[in-house]
Amino acid sequence: MLAQWQMLFTGLVILSLAGIAGSTVAARKRLAQESGTDDEAKPLLREIPGWAIWAGMACLVAVGLLATWWLVTSYGSGDSKTIEQNRIKLEAIKLAGSVVVGTGGVAALLLAARRQRVSELDLLQRDRVADANRHDADERRATEQYTAAAEQLASDKAPVRMAGMYALSRLGETNKNLRQTIINLLCAYLRMPDISLNDSASPSGESSDCQEDGAAVVQRREHSSQSIVLDLASGPLAALTSLAPDLSSQQQQERQVRLTAQRLLSHHLRPNRGDDGEPTSRSYWPDMDIELADSNLHEIDFTGCEVRNADFRRTQFHGVTMFEGAQFRQSTWFGGAQFYNTTWFENAQFHDVAEFHGAQFHHTAWFESAQFHEYTRFSGAEFHDDAGFSGARFHYCVGFDNVQLKHAEFSGAEFHDGVFRDTDFRDYTGFSGVHFHGHTRFESARFHDHAEFDDAQFHGYADFKKAQFHDDARFRGAQFHNITRFEVGYFAKEPYLDDAWAHMTLDEHQQSTWPNGWTTDEVVLEDAREVRWWRLTREKLRLRFA
């Protein structure tokens, strides 16, 4: 029996020493790993201090010795009956010991899981540090490339400046966070004083190198839609390097540099949307703002481009200007701009405020089928040649007050609220088939030539007070659905209101006034809505058949 207790005691001691040794080795290995990590990396979990490890070892040895001594003294002697009882008690104690050992095993598993968790967190931390280092390296490299390209723009050599612009373009392709900055830099270059302008060019005309017909514009646009590739061995750069360094050559070189900046802008702002409405151009940079106020632009082609905010205030547009099908997502400013050649805004979309206040169009301006979704202002603008707004849609209030128009065509357009107060129509004016859905004001407007409102529909208040018609005024087939006022108007010739109708309530009819020599006859009464149809007739005819 004593030999059994000795073997039990020896086994407990061996197990205790083995556990202590294993714990010590694991702790030292962990401490060695943590000591080898980056000094700047913070510990993920609090490390176990050394004194706690030694204290735990001492406790294990003490508990083992105490348990051995207690078992030997309590159950190591006695008669046979007592020995049998002691054996049963020992079995119970052995079972309890097994439970204790199992609990210790669970604790060991928890410690192992903790070590695994620490290892995983350490690996994740290392990955994060590596990613941060890579990101910092990329940022530094991009900043260095941007700085180098920006410095090239300050060069006195045109090829170097153009190379810097292409370098900025390539940099923006791989660094989305730099795209707006690159756009701003290109715009800033175009806002700088333009030495390429010919001093002999008149304000209303263009120098010979700015003249371009429509076919040439389309051909140039198709060529520019291809990928922009920098080729130092041929093309405009090679030609520029052979130019003599006199003033004329410097102007030509600067013109090419500016054209390059404009092409890069349109290249990155044109999505080339497919049938599904998604951009097909990989070089498209969405949600860009452009600020080109007070700049000089030459033969700008923004056909199909999409921008967020656009500022062209006081900008001078030389040569043919193309904004056909352009999309302006937010505010657009053209106040005080000068357009010296043909300007195209066909099918353009203005989704927010569109400001053309004080703009001057020295050549033809085409806005056919353009869409203006918010407040639009052309107040004080001057159109020195044909102005085409056929099929345009003004979904909100539009101001054409104090505008000077030469030959204006608005046929088929739609207005929500239109203000043409004090507007000067110097040549033919066409409003045939126009729908005015809200208030329409032509107060004190002056029509110096033929004015045509045939089949126009005025759904809201229509005000022609003090309007002056110095030639034919035609309103054949027009319909007036609300209060209409023509009092104190001037008609050099008898106006034509044949087949015109007033469709309004009796109260609205009583407040309406018509041109001299014209009155209304009640034709149909619609009892359900108390709205009546009134036919416009000449007073002399009415008296003749009374």
Measured between alpha carbons, how far is residue 506 from residues 51, 81, 483, 512, 534 in Å? 104, 127, 10, 10, 10
pLDDT of residue 120: 85
pLDDT at 545 over 70: no
CA gap 20, 110 in Å, rounded: 16
Chain centre to alpha carbon of residue 527: 53
Q: Does 86 score more than 60 pLDDT?
A: yes
pLDDT of residue 57: 66
Percent of the chain with pLDDT over 70: 71
Q: Are 444 and 467 in contact (CB under 8 A)?
A: yes
What pLDDT score does 245 carry? 45
pLDDT beyond 60 at 59:
yes
SS (H, E, C) 322-354: ECCCCEECCCEECCCCEECCCEECCCCEECCCE
pLDDT at 5: 47
Calpha distance 471→286 (Å, rounded): 50
Q: Give the neighbor-by-neighbor strand order of the sheet with 338-339.
A: 296-298, 316-318, 338-339, 360-361, 382-383, 404-405, 424-425, 446-447, 468-469, 490-491
Is the pLDDT score of 205 beyond 50? no
- Over the stretch 314-368, which tens digit does the pLDDT of each residue have? 999 999 999 999 999 999 999 999 999 999 999 999 999 999 999 999 999 999 9
415/355 Cα distance (integer angstroms): 17
Q: Report residue 355 as tokens.
A: 């400001």
Percentage of the residues of the chain whose pLDDT score is greater than 90: 53
- State the DSSP code for 49: P
Whole-number Å distance between alpha carbons of 530 and 526: 6
Give CA–CA dist 145/139, Å, rounded.
Answer: 10
> What local confidence, expressed as pLDDT, does residue 91 receive?
72
Model confidence pLDDT, tens digit, residues 494-508:
999 999 999 998 899
Range of 34-38, 64-68, 470-474, 513-517 with top mean pLDDT? 470-474
199 has a pLDDT exceeding 50: yes
CB-based contacts of 15, cutoff 8 Å, min separation 6: 64
Would you say 303 and 282 are in contact if contact means Cβ atoms under 8 Å apart?
Answer: no
Average pLDDT, the chain: 81
Interatomic CA distance for residues 19 and 105, integer angstroms? 11
pLDDT at 249: 85
Q: 166-200: b or e for each residue (b if 16 or more CB lie within 10 Å)?
A: bbbbebbeebeebbbebbebbbebbeeebebbeee
C-alpha to C-alpha distance for 505 and 256, rounded to whole angstroms: 64
Measured in residues, the chain has a length of: 546
**Which range (123-127, 401-405, 444-448, 500-504) has the least confidence?**
123-127
The mean per-residue pLDDT over the stretch 261-288 comes to 94
Q: How much is the pLDDT for 306?
A: 97
The pLDDT of residue 502: 94
| pLDDT of res. 83 | 67
- Write the pLDDT tens digit of every residue in 224-240: 444 444 443 344 444 44
CB count in 10 Å sphere of residue 123: 10
Most confident of 139-148, 200-209, 382-391: 382-391
Query: Is the per-residue pLDDT at 46 higher than 90?
Result: no
pLDDT digit string, tens, across residues 107-160? 778 878 878 888 888 888 888 888 877 767 767 776 787 888 888 888 999 999
In this prediction, residue 223 has a pLDDT band, given cuts at 50, 70 and 90, of very low
Torsion, CA 277, CA 278, CA 280, CA 285, rounded to 10: 120
What is the model's pTM?
0.71
What's the pLDDT band for 243 if we cut at 50, 70, 90?
very low
